[in-house]
Structure 1
Amino acid sequence: MSAPKTIRWGILATGGIATTFTKDLLVDPATRGVRHLKHTVVAAASSSSAARAQDFLKATGAPADAKAYGSYQELVDDANVDIVYVATPHSHHYQNTMLALEAGKPVLCEKAFTVNAAQLRALADKAREKGLFLMEAVWTRYFPLSVYVRDQITAGRIGPVARVFADNSVASNPEVQWKDGSNRMVNPDLAGGALLDLGIYSLTWVFQTLYHTQPQEVRKPPKVLAAMKNYGPTKDADETTTIVLSFPRPADAGGDAHAIATTSIRVATSPAGNQDIPGIRIQGPDGEIQVFPPAFRPTRTRIILKDGTVEEKNWSQPGPGEGSGWHTGFGGSTNAEGEGHGMFWEADEAADALINGRKEGRYEGLDESILIMDVMDETRKQGGLKYPDKIETTKYPTQL
C-alpha cells in the first residue's frame, strides 16, 4: 500500500470556527479509518496581525514551522499552500474566496458559501475558468450519519420521500447577548440573522434528502414560499424564518414533494436542551427517518417503519480517544476527551478531491450550492431583507 498523500492547508482567519476546524484537521485520519491521505497546516493568516496568527497556530497544535501571516494576500501567495480554508464571516466569503482563486489556490469555504447566488456564480465561474477545486464547507453532508440517511432513502426504506420537516433554531436572548448589535448573528454589515447562519442547515437537510437523492437528470428546483420576521433592534437581520418548498417530481417517482425549513434565534428546536425532539423528519409512505438535534452536528437517528419496526442508532465522532489529553469543541462547549468535532470529514473530502483531480465535492456540487443560495435569495426577497450594497456586490475587490 502506498504512503498516504499529505495535503498542506492554509487557514484564512483565526476565529472560533477556524480553531475547531484546524484542531480536527490535525487528528490522524487513521482514527476514522482514512488511510490514503493526511493533513498538515503550513500557514495561517489573521487580518489583524501576524502575532495573532502565531498564537492561533500554537493554540491549535500546528507544526512549529507553519508560517504566520498578518494579511490574507501573503497566505494565498505562499507556494507551500495546497488549499485554503476560508473561515471568515459569510459576509466576507466572496471577497476572500475570490482572492484565493485569483492566486490559483483551491478553496474550501465555510457556509453559507456567499451572501447571494450572484456572488457564488461568479466564484464558480472563476474556479472553472482556472480549473480549481471549490467546495462549500457544509460539514454535516459528509458525516457518516448523513451518508447513512441518504443511503436509507435511496434504498427505498421509507418509499419515495413525500415530505421533510427540518428545523435548526437556538433560543438566544439577543437583546442581552448581543446588545450592541455588532455580533455576526444580528449585524447587517456581517449579513447577520438566522437564515444564513442557522437556516442553511435546515435547507441542507431538505436538499440532501429530498433533492440530492433524486437521479441527477430528473432533479428540478423547488417553488418557494417564505415568511420572515426581522430582528427589531438592527432591522436588516432575520430573527425567525420559515420556508415552504415544493419540489416538482415525476409521477412515477412519487410526484411533487414538500418540505418545510425553519430557523430562529428566538426559540429552540429542543427547548430544554435535551435534544430529545427530532429536529428533522423525513417522511415517506412506508415510514419516516428522524434525526435529532443539533441539525448541524447530529449524533442520533431513528427509523420508524409502517410495520412497527423501530431502528435507533447513535453516531459518535471519532478522534484521538480517551487518555489522549486532547480536547476540542465550539462556541464555549467542550467535547469529551479525545472526541473530534466532525469537521475532519469535509477536510478529507477536499483532500481526496485534490488527490484524485476532482473539482467539486461529491455530496454537494457547485450547482446544488448555487440552487440553495437561489432559495435563500428568494426567501430574503419575499421577506424584504437586503444587506448593505458592499456586502451584496459582486465587484472584486471591494473593501469591507
Structure 2
Amino acid sequence: MSSPKVIRWGILATGVIAVTFTKDLLVDPTTRGVTSIKHTVVAAASSSSVSRAESFLRRVGAPASARAYDSYQDLIADPDVDIIYIATPHSHHYQNAMHCLEAGKNVLCEKPFTVNAEQARLLVNMAKEKGCFLMEALWTRYFPLAAYVREILSSGRLGTLVRVMTDCNIATNPEKSFKDGKHRMVNSELAGGALLDLGVYSLTWPFLALYDTQPRETRKPPKVLAAMTKYPPTFCADETTTMVLTFPRNESAGGDAHAIATTSIRLETSPASDPNPPASVRIQGTLGEIQLFPCAHNPTHSKLVLWDGTVEEKPWPQPGPGKGSGWFNGFGDSINAEGEGQGMFWEADEAGFALCEGRKEGKYLGLEETVLIMEVMDETRRQGELRYPEKIETTKFPVQL
C-alpha cells in the first residue's frame, strides 16, 4: 500500500474559526475512513505578532517544526506551503485571497467567499490565470449528510422537487452580546450582518436541491425577492433577512421551483425548551420530503418522510479520535464531546483530493455556483439598501484594511 499524500497547509489568521479548522485538520484521517491523504500544518501567520502565531500553533497541536509568522506575506512566500486556509473576517477575504493567488498559492477561503460577486469573479479569474486551486470553505457541502441528501434527490424518491425552506439563526441579544458594535456580526467595517455570515447557509440547501440537480448546460439563476430588517443601533448591518427564490425549470421538469431562505441574528429556529423542535431545512417533492435538524449550518440528524408512509431517520455523528483520547474541539465556547470533531476536516479532505487529482475547484460547490450565490446576496442587499464601506466593497487591489 502506498503512503498517503501529505498536504502541507499554511493557516492565515489565528482566530476562533482557525483554531477549530486546524484542530480538525490535524485529526488522523483514518478515523473518518480516509487513507489516501493526510494533513499537516507547516506555518501559521498572525497579523499582530509572532507570539500569537506561536501560541496558536501550540494550541492546535501543530508539529514542532511549524513556523510562526507575524506577516501574511511571509506565510504566502513560504515555499513549503501547498495550500493556504484563509480565516480572516469575510470583509478581508478578497484582499487576502488575491495576495495568495497572485503568488501562485492554492487557496481554501472561509465562507462567505467575498463581500460581493465582483470580488468573487476577480478571484476566480486570478486563480485560472495562475493555475491555482480555489474553493470556498462552506463546510456543510462536504458533510456525509450532504452526500446522503444528494443521493436521495438523485434517486427520485421524493418525486419532482417543488420547494425548499431553510432557516439559520444564532438566537442572541445583539445589544447585549455585541454592545460595543465591534463584533463581526454587526460591524459594517467587517461586512457584518445576518445575510453574509448566516444567510449563506440558508442558501446552501436550496441551491443543492434546486440548482445542482438541474443539467449544468440549461440551469438558470434564481429570481430573488428579498425583505430585510436592519440592526437598530446602527442600521449598518442586517438583523433579519428573508429571501424568496424562484428557480426556473422547464415544464417537463415540473416547472419553476421555490425556496424560502431566512436568517436572523436575534431569532432562533425553535426555543431550546421545545421537546420536538421543527426542522431547520425541509426539501419537499411530490412524493415526500427530507427534514434536517437541528440547524441549517451543521445538521446532525435527518428524517426522510414519504407520502406512502415510509419514515427513515438517521443520526450523523461527527467522527474524531474518540472517547479516551483527551482531545476536544468545538467552536468558541461550544465544546463537543470528548474525541468528537467539528466536521471541518471533510472540506479539508476535498481540497486535498483536488490537489492530488489536479482539480482547480471543489467537487460539490464549484466556483461558478459560489459566484452565483454571491450574486443572490448582492441582489438581496440591493433590495434591502445595505451597502458596506467602499474599502470593503472595492475590487481595487491591494487595499490596506
Shared fold per TM-score greater than 0.5: yes
2:229 maps to amino acid? K
Aligned 8 A contact 1:153 1:160 in 2 = no
Query: In structure 2, what is the Cα distance between the partners aligned to 1:321 and 1:215?
Result: 41
Query: In structure 2, what is the Cα distance between the partners aligned to 1:77 and 1:149?
Result: 40
Aligned position for 2:89: 89
1:1-400 alignment runs, 5 A limit: 1-272=1-272, 276-400=277-401
**C-alpha deviation, 1:338, in angstroms:** 0.4
Deviations 1:85-117 (A, max 9, x none): 000000000000001101110000000000000
2:169 maps to amino acid? S
Query: In structure 1, what is the Cα distance between the partners aligned to 2:137 and 2:73?
Result: 21
**C-alpha deviation, 1:210, in angstroms:** 1.3
3-state DSSP of counterpart to 2:284: strand
1:248 maps to amino acid? P
1:266 maps to amino acid? R
**C-alpha deviation, 1:297, in angstroms:** 1.0
**C-alpha deviation, 1:336, in angstroms:** 0.4
Deviations 1:18-71 (A, max 9, x none): 000000000010000000000000000000001100000000000001000001
Give the stretch that moved more between structures: 87-96 or 265-274: 265-274
Deviations 1:342-379 (A, max 9, x none): 00000000000001100000001000000000000000
* TM-score normalized with structure 2 length: 0.99
Deviations 1:225-249 (A, max 9, x none): 0000000112110000000000000
2:329 maps to amino acid? T
3-state DSSP of counterpart to 2:161: coil
Deviations 1:268-293 (A, max 9, x none): 01221668220000000000100112
Query: In structure 2, what is the Cα distance between the partners aligned to 1:82 and 1:193?
Result: 33
**C-alpha deviation, 1:396, in angstroms:** 0.4
Residue identity over aligned pairs, in percent, reads 69
3-state DSSP of counterpart to 1:375: helix
RMSD: 0.9
Query: In structure 2, what is the Cα distance between the partners aligned to 1:139 and 1:170?
Result: 17
1:231 maps to amino acid? Y
* TM-score normalized with structure 1 length: 0.99
3-state DSSP of counterpart to 1:124: helix
Give the stretch that moved more between structures: 228-237 or 38-47: 228-237
Deviations 1:167-217 (A, max 9, x none): 101211001111110000000000000000011100011111111122212
1:38 maps to amino acid? K
2:3 maps to amino acid? A
Aligned 8 A contact 1:171 1:271 in 2 = no
For structure 2, the 5+ residue unaligned runs are none
Query: In structure 2, what is the Cα distance between the partners aligned to 1:276 and 1:218?
Result: 38
3-state DSSP of counterpart to 2:168: strand
1:112 maps to amino acid? P
Runs (4+) of structure 1 exceeding 2 A deviation are 273-276
1:377 maps to amino acid? D
